């Protein structure tokens, strides 16, 4: 009886093995066929794309390289057109796009003695303001347009030109571009800052004069007719491309339309000198 059962079991086992083997081979063949089908379809699509490109090139009378060059030329023209539109908006007096970007690099400088404005010089935390804004201050902090605040450390200053450098422990700031070329009389400018504590205000005007000396020994200032008030000090003066051409630092009290700004060339030179002095002190320490 046991021998009979054993013979039947062997037959069933052999049959099962044959069935499993057949199924496995069938699945492998099916997957291989599916892969081949997808590969063939993809290859056909690539071939069709090459034919389309060659056909388009032929219709235009261009080689593939020339067609690619033409496409790149169109992209360049589109970028140039966008810049022209931005300039046209500026000429027409619409500074909204420029201000939207620039305001991220403007700060309110708050001290235990008063307040003023500042401009982000680099994305790793260096901020420019006027020396008179932070003079004699024991505590300094800055407020950004997004509501974020940070404590600031005074690093150095050119007291004659009224330029000061602060540092905050942040490394993701929106730095402003400084244009060190000479401004032109009659050029449109935008003053940004926090006059009278009214955060992130904007005023528009023109360059009225250049090289104005209001403090003996200092560099000549840019005279502007854009309205500035206490609190504007340290804020950026922008051109119609959104570049910083100066740092606002004074106005004649009792008069309207008589504001002044330190040229960017002077500001950047002073900041570089302060940074060099800091580096030298660090090396000698």
For 100-175, which CATH class?
Answer: mainly beta
Q: How far is CA 117 from CA 24, 60, 80, 108, in A?
A: 76, 57, 34, 5
Buried b (16+ CB within 10 A) or exposed e, 192-215: bbbbeeebbbbbbbbbbeeebeee
From 160, 145, 130, 159, select the one nearest 259 (Cα to Cα).
Answer: 130
Band (94; pLDDT cuts 50, 70, 90)? low
Higher-confidence position of 39 and 112: 112
Q: Tens digit of pLDDT for each residue in 124-143?
A: 999 999 999 999 999 999 99
Taking residues 244-252, report their average pLDDT.
Answer: 91
Structure confidence at residue 9 (pLDDT): 43
Structure confidence at residue 83 (pLDDT): 55
Higher-confidence position of 58 and 227: 227
Structure confidence at residue 284 (pLDDT): 84
The rounded distance, in Å, linking the Cα atoms of 100 and 263 is: 23
From 139, 99, 132, 106, select the one nearest 120 (Cα to Cα).
Answer: 106
Structure confidence at residue 88 (pLDDT): 47
- Per the structure block, which two tokens stand in for 88? 């046209």
Question: Domain locations in the chain?
Answer: 62-91, 100-175, 188-270
Residue 110's H or E segment, with its range, is: strand 106-111
Higher-confidence position of 168 and 217: 168
Taking residues 160-166, report their average pLDDT.
Answer: 97
The rounded distance, in Å, linking the Cα atoms of 115 and 230 is: 9
From 113, 116, 126, 143, select the one nearest 249 (Cα to Cα).
Answer: 116
Question: So which residues are the catalytic ones?
Answer: 132, 162, 233
Considering the chain, what is the average pLDDT of its residues? Answer: 80
- Per the structure block, which two tokens stand in for 72? 């790149």
Structure confidence at residue 231 (pLDDT): 86
Angle at 111 between CA 285 and CA 150, to 5 degrees: 70
The rounded distance, in Å, linking the Cα atoms of 236 and 243 is: 9
Min mean pLDDT across 27-36, 97-106, 252-261, 265-274 is at 27-36
Phi-psi label, residue 241: left if phi above 0, alpha if psi -120 to 50, beta otherwise: alpha
The rounded distance, in Å, linking the Cα atoms of 15 and 25 is: 16
Domains 100-175 and 188-270 share a fold: yes
Beta strands in 217-280 (DSSP E): 221-224, 236-238, 244-251, 259-263
What share of the chain has pLDDT > 90, as a percent? Answer: 49
125 HSE (CA, 13 A, CB side): 13
Residue 203's H or E segment, with its range, is: strand 201-212
Residue 177 contacts residue 237 (beta carbons within 8 Å): no
Does residue 265 carry a pLDDT above 60? yes
Min mean pLDDT across 14-23, 37-46, 192-201, 244-253 is at 14-23
* Helix orientation angle between 2-60 and 64-91, rounded to the nearest 10 degrees: 70
DSSP 178: B
Q: Is residue 51 helix, strand or coil?
A: helix
From 109, 83, 119, select the one nearest 238 (Cα to Cα).
Answer: 119
Structure confidence at residue 77 (pLDDT): 57
Whole-model pTM? 0.67
Q: Between 3.40.50.1980, 1.10.3720.10, 3.40.1790.10, 2.40.10.10, what CATH number should domain 188-270 receive?
A: 2.40.10.10
Structure confidence at residue 66 (pLDDT): 59
Does residue 245 carry a pLDDT above 70? yes
């Amino acid at each position: 009886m046991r021998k009979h059962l054993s013979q039947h079991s062997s037959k069933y086992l052999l049959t099962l093995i044959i069935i499993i083997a057949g199924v496995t081979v069938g699945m492998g063949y099916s997957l291989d066929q599916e892969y081949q089908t997808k590969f063939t379809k993809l290859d056909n699509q690539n071939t069709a794309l090459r034919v389309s490109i060659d056909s388009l090139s032929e219709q235009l009378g261009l080689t593939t390289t020339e067609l690619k060059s033409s496409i790149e030329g169109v992209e360049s023209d589109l970028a140039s057109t966008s810049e022209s539109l931005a300039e046209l908006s500026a000429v027409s007096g619409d500074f909204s796009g420029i201000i939207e970007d620039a305001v991220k690099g403007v700060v309110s400088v708050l001290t235990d003695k008063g307040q003023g404005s500042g401009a982000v010089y680099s994305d790793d935390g260096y901020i420019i303001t006027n020396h008179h804004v932070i003079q004699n201050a024991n505590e300094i902090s800055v407020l950004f347009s997004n509501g974020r605040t940070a404590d600031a450390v005074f690093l150095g200053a050119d007291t004659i030109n009224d330029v000061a450098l602060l540092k905050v422990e942040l490394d993701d700031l929106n730095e402003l571009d400084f244009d060190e070329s000479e401004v032109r009389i009659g050029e449109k400018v935008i003053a940004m800052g926090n006059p009278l504590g009214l955060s992130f205000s904007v005023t528009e005007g023109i360059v009225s004069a250049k090289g104005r000396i209001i403090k003996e020994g200092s560099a000549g200032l840019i005279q502007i007719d854009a309205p500035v008030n206490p609190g504007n000090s340290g804020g950026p003066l922008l051109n119609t491309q959104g570049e910083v051409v100066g740092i606002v630092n004074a106005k004649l009290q009792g008069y309207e339309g008589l504001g002044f700004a330190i040229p960017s060339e002077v500001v950047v030179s002073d900041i570089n000198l302060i940074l060099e002095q800091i580096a030298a002190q660090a090396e000698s320490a």
